[in-house]
Structure 1
Amino acid sequence: MIIWWLTLLGLCLNLNLGLALQVPQHNCEKYFSYYKESDGAYIGVFTAPRAGVNSLEWEVVFNAHGTGQAATVGSLQPYPSKDSAFEKIRNGERGQVFVRFQNFGDELPKLIRAEFNDELLCRNDEYDAPSSTMTRRQSMSTSTPITQIAAPRETAVPRFIQNTPKAAPRDRVVFQSGFLDLSPPSQHSSNPFLNRNIPRIESDFEECGVEGFAPLQIGGDLVTRGQYPWLAALYEGSSTATYKCVVSVISKRTVITAAHCIYGKEANQLWVYLGRHDRNENPENGASLVSVSRVITPSAYEGSPVPDADVGLLVLNAAMEYTKYIQPLCLWSSNMGLPPNEGDSGAVAGWGYDRSAQKTRFPKTVSVRLVPRDQCLKEMKRAEDFITRRTVCAGNSESHGPCFGDSGSALMVLRNNRWYIRGVVSLSPRQGDICDLSKYVIYCDVAKHIDWVRQNMVI
Structure 2
Amino acid sequence: MTIVWLTLLGLCLNLNIGSALQVPQHNCERYFSYYKENNGAYIGVFTAPRAGVNSLSWEVVFTARGTDQASTVSSLKPYPDKATAFEKIRSGERGEVFVRFQDFGDELPKLVRAEFNDQVLCQNDEYDAPSSTMTRRQSMSTSTKISEVPREIVPQSRPVNQYSQLFRSRPVPNIPDSVSNPFFSQTRPKIESDYEECGVEGFAPLQIGGDLVTRGQYPWLAALYEGGSTATYKCVVTVISKRTVITAAHCIYGKSASQLWVYLGRHDRNENPENGASLVSVSSVLTPSAYDGNPVPDVDVGLLVLTAPMVYTKYIRPLCLWSSNMGVSPNEGESGAVAGWGFDRSAQKTRFPKTVSVQLVPRDQCLKEMKRAEDFITRRTVCAGNSESHGPCFGDSGSALIVLRNNRWHVRGVVSLSPRQGEICDLSKYVIYCDVAKHIDWVRQNMVM
**Structure 2: distance between partners of 1:35 and 1:327:** 30
Matched position secondary structure for 1:330? coil
Residues 1:198 and 2:190 aligned together: yes
| Residues 283-333 of structure 1, C-alpha deviations (whole Å, 9 max, x = no match) | 111111111111110000001121111000001110111111111100000
1:415-440 Cα distance to aligned partner (Å, 9 max, x none):
01100000100111000000000000
**What residue is the counterpart of 1:124 in the other structure?**
123
Are the equivalent residues in 1 in contact too, given 2:226–2:234 (CA < 8 A)?
yes
- State the match for 2:175 in structure 1: 154
Q: Contact conserved, 2:76 with 2:138, CA < 8 A, in 1?
A: no
> CA separation in 2, counterparts of 1:448 and 1:103?
33
1:219 maps to which of 196, 201, 209: 209
Change (3 A) 1:103 1:292: farther
SS of the residue corresponding to residue 61 of structure 1 reads strand
By how many angstroms is 1:103 displaced? Answer: 9.3
Q: Check whether the contact 1:10–1:427 (CA below 8 A) recurs between aligned residues.
A: no
Q: Given the two structures, how large is their TM-score scaled by the length of structure 2?
A: 0.73
- 1:437 equivalent in structure 2: 427
- Of 3, 6, 30 in structure 2, the residue corresponding to residue 12 of structure 1 is 6
> In the alignment, is residue 100 of structure 1 matched against residue 94 of structure 2?
no
CA contact (8 A) 1:17 1:451 kept: no
Residue segments in structure 1 that go unaligned for 5+ positions in a row: 27-31, 48-55, 86-96, 142-151, 161-173, 177-190
Whether 1:373 and 2:363 are equivalent positions in the alignment is yes
Q: Structure 1 residue 17: deviation in Å?
A: 3.5
- 8 Å Cα contact 2:331/2:362 also seen in 1: yes
Partner of 1:387: 377
CA distance 1:237–1:57, shift in 2 (3 Å): closer
Which one has the largest radius of gyration? 2
Could you tell me whether the CA contact under 8 Å between 2:201 and 2:217 is conserved in 1? yes
Deviations, residues 170-218 of structure 1 (Å, cap 9, x unaligned): xxxx457xxxxxxxxxxxxxx6x522x422314xx31010111111111
Give yes or no for contact 2:61–2:134 (8 Å, CA) kept in 1: yes
Q: Identity percentage over the alignment? A: 69
User: 2:300·2:434 contact (CA, 8 Å) conserved in 1?
Assistant: yes
Instruction: For 1:43, give the aligned amino acid.
Output: T
8 A contact 1:194–1:288 mirrored in 2: yes
List alignment gaps of at least 5 residues for structure 2: 16-24, 34-44, 102-109, 142-172
Distance in 2, matches of 1:258 and 1:396, equals: 22
Cα distance in structure 2, aligned partners of 1:301 and 1:102: 37
CA displacement at 1:13 relative to structure 2? 1.9
Counting only pairs closer than 5 Å after superposition, residues 16-27 of structure 1 correspond to structure 2 as: 16-18=10-12, 25=27
Count of aligned pairs between the two proteins: 375
Amino acid at match of 2:175: E
Name the counterpart of 2:223. Answer: 233
Tell me the TM-score normalised to structure 1 length.
0.71
SS at match of 1:208: coil
- Any residues of structure 2 matched to 1:267-278 within 5 Å, and which? 267-278=257-268
Cα pair distance change 1:384/1:208, threshold 3 Å: same
Which residue in the other structure is 2:235 paired with?
A: 245
What residue identity is the alignment partner of 1:364?
A: K
- Picking from 39, 45, 48, the partner of 1:44 is 48
User: Which aligned pairs between 1:271-420 and structure 2 lie closer than 5 A?
Assistant: 271-420=261-410
Residue 264 of structure 1: CA displacement?
A: 0.5
Cross-structure match for 2:61: 61
